[in-house]
Structure 1
């Protein structure tokens, strides 16, 4: 890379200050579901099966809806960078109102289509089906609050405040843990509710998370607020214009998330064709790679905030330096994880399983995963940088190309034509990350993203 874009020490510090709490927050969100899974696993096999049934459905719904927060990140970051409090306030108001409306609509539609969604998983027992149905009905009630919390946290991060979402997420985890313990097992005089208890714990934690973050955004003295001159509930031309600008950035990301969900289903279908042992091995490998993914994505979110703020302040060169600072740190960190994958693959996989057959299949795949880490780090950071700049169409095109043209075709060829098994799956995903990283670097060096209209 050109020395022109070498990172300034202050930018390095800014990236780290934003990235570390964001990474920790991402781990808290993962822990949120791991706690439910662990407690239900100790409660009963049917309860755990019901939870596993609901997880991919909730992942798809939440992933699609969170796309709308990307537009808020780009516009809030620009407003904060330009010192335009009026635009920042209008964006916060518009984004929160829209998040609430979309959350309610999505919750209602999902509720009405619940039986059809669960029908995607034939062969489950009536007990598992009923438990999953009950779990989803409770969680869907809290879905609007979850989307409000996601949007509020994203805007605070875009304004440079990543500590508050991190702290709130940590406390919400404790709330979920406490309620799970009381309601799943019926401790302390509370009724034993099993799966429903886990759902209630998650729902209350989501509402708590949203309430605290909204309280933070209500403080007029804060960097970011939906209160201006003592007024909170205002809907004027400024809010309508802000919403249209948010949507212009968000819709390509929504398209990207739809394609990702479809591509992921196809990718999973290829893996499932290899049998239950391959699926179990893949799950163990994903558990290890998730640490890498969340770390790189945390740097990406930090870079997105810095890019949006620097472009808003009219400093595109600093935005570019921020991108390279975040990308370099992410590559270095994931490079360390890659060395660990190569040095002690068996020891790492034994965290998840003691099955010799899974270990034999998984160790070569972990070596392939190690090769992918620098490219995954580059891709995740640069995708977030483009989103922070508002250049979401470029990110959409490259991500869609990566899923459908590269990952699915490469993986199906390696698995079904060449017969390379699960190693072919991980080679296919590595090809995706490699080519995606190259294309994103080309887009970055051209510099058109610095002039994206938000």
Structure 2
């Protein structure tokens, strides 16, 4: 009886943290899909393919920046969760200030320099052809400018999630995403007397929605009743222990994210070599894959927060139970996603574009994506638990081997040597996810992550 009560308690706690994250990520991804669908119907076939490709190219830069921002944020989530578990809430304000300032100084400034000062060079580097350059320059610059606010938002969201507050990020993100979709409709198509701006309109709307989210978040962190808050009048001073923790947790996490971005960039270049239509198809498949990330990400964040808090309370076995229970729930959702992709892939792809060639090819890729689901979801959840414990070295190793070595080798074999086209590229993704899952599971079973300390 005791164990079933405990299991129910674990489930309730997990759902309390993961539920809002899942809704937030799902809504965000769905809104992103709607954005892509709007662009897919914003002009003739050549214009829409170039517009979708421009979004894909710009996302390479944004995801690179956000990946590094998340590296610092992993440290913030872990520290906030640990300090709450150890009843040291007085340390949280300093964590939030450190993450905010370091993010803007170390990460936002370089992204602005690349996005605004090296637009054409950067876009070509990320795989843009001439048609994409022509249509996507303005979008690229506007999104780079919006990164100032996006990075700030990510930092505060990470701290809030570490405290177990996932409802606030959910509410703010839903409002921001809703305003983005409305703004997109108005500016892409030129409704209510506004100019018809196409992909540039999508960029302006996206960046403005980040500004709206930032304004709402400032109100949250200035409220001293919240666990995560800052006092503007309180003088900021660097705390070497917090910087040490951020470096200890964040440096391997940065390495992991850089390895991931470098691997994905090289992988995308292999796909881009197949031409604009294949690249546009790939972007649609990536957009759908992002939807399937949501269960793994949501329960990974839940595992991270609850494992971190349990380790702060000096209850390592409880941390393990949280991670295992997150994995069980995630497995059911992953199986459901896989079935949907396998049987309804062509229908889902058809929502994005009228281009029959793209729809048929995307449908075939989605059948492969169905088999990726269980491996992807499980490794995202266990890796989330390990990060919550501060164990970011092993996640770096698995990502480095999986994406930079295994995926690229198999992509070259399947696409370039065997001529399997886009499906060959996605078969390489399946092999990569399977190997990463195995490496992360092996690390989890050693229990060494339970004994990592922070200052």
TM-score (norm. length: structure 2): 0.87
The runs of at least 4 consecutive aligned structure 1 residues that moved more than 6 Å come to 4-7
Distance 1:327 1:235, change over 3 A: same
Change (3 A) 1:67 1:316: same
Q: Which residue of 1 aligns with 2:100?
A: 96
Q: CA deviation at 1:413?
A: 2.7
In 1, distance between residues paired with 2:190 and 2:270?
Answer: 41
Structure-2 change in CA distance of 1:8 and 1:41 (3 Å):
same
Q: In the alignment, is the contact (CA less than 8 A) between 1:135 and 1:199 conserved in 2?
A: yes
What 5-or-longer segments of structure 2 have no aligned partner? none
Quickly say closer, same or farther: Cα 1:277–1:39, change in 2 above 3 A.
closer
Residue 254 of structure 1: how far off its partner (Å): 1.2
- 1:148 corresponds in structure 2 to 152
2:119 is aligned with 1:114: yes
Using the TM superposition, give the Cα deviation of residue 161 of structure 1 relative to its aligned residue in structure 2, in angstroms.
0.7
Q: How does 1:51-450 map to 2 (within 5 A)?
A: 51-110=55-114, 111-120=116-125, 121=127, 123-125=129-131, 129=133, 132-188=136-192, 190=194, 194-227=198-231, 232-236=233-237, 239-274=239-274, 278-279=278-279, 281-352=281-352, 365-450=365-450
Question: What is the distance in 2 between the residues matched to 1:373 and 1:430?
Answer: 9
Provide the rounded CA distance (Å) in 2 between the counterparts of 1:5 and 1:447: 24
CA shift at 1:399, angstroms?
Answer: 0.8
Structure 1 portions without partners, runs of 5+: none
Query: How far 1:358 moved relative to its partner?
Result: 5.5
Deviation at residue 9 of structure 1 after TM alignment: 1.4
Residues 177 and 300 (structure 1), Cα distance of their counterparts in 2 relative to 1, 3 Å cut: same
Superposition RMSD in Å: 3.0
* 1:67, distance to aligned residue in structure 2 (A): 2.2
Deviation at 1:317, TM superposition (A): 0.8
CA distance in 1, matches of 2:18, 2:93: 24
Using the alignment, how far apart are the partners of 1:78 and 1:114 within structure 2? 41
> How far, CA to CA, are the matches of 1:96 and 1:134 in structure 2?
28
Cα distance in structure 2, aligned partners of 1:199 and 1:419: 35
Q: Determine if contact 1:5/1:324 at 8 Å carries over to the other structure.
A: no
Q: How many Å apart are 1:171 and its aligned residue?
A: 0.8
Aligned-residue offset at 1:442: 1.1
CA distance in 2: counterparts of 1:400 and 1:393, whole angstroms: 11
Q: Distance in 2 between matches of 1:182 and 1:106?
A: 31
Alpha-carbon distance change, 114 to 326 in structure 1, aligned in 2, over 3 angstroms: same
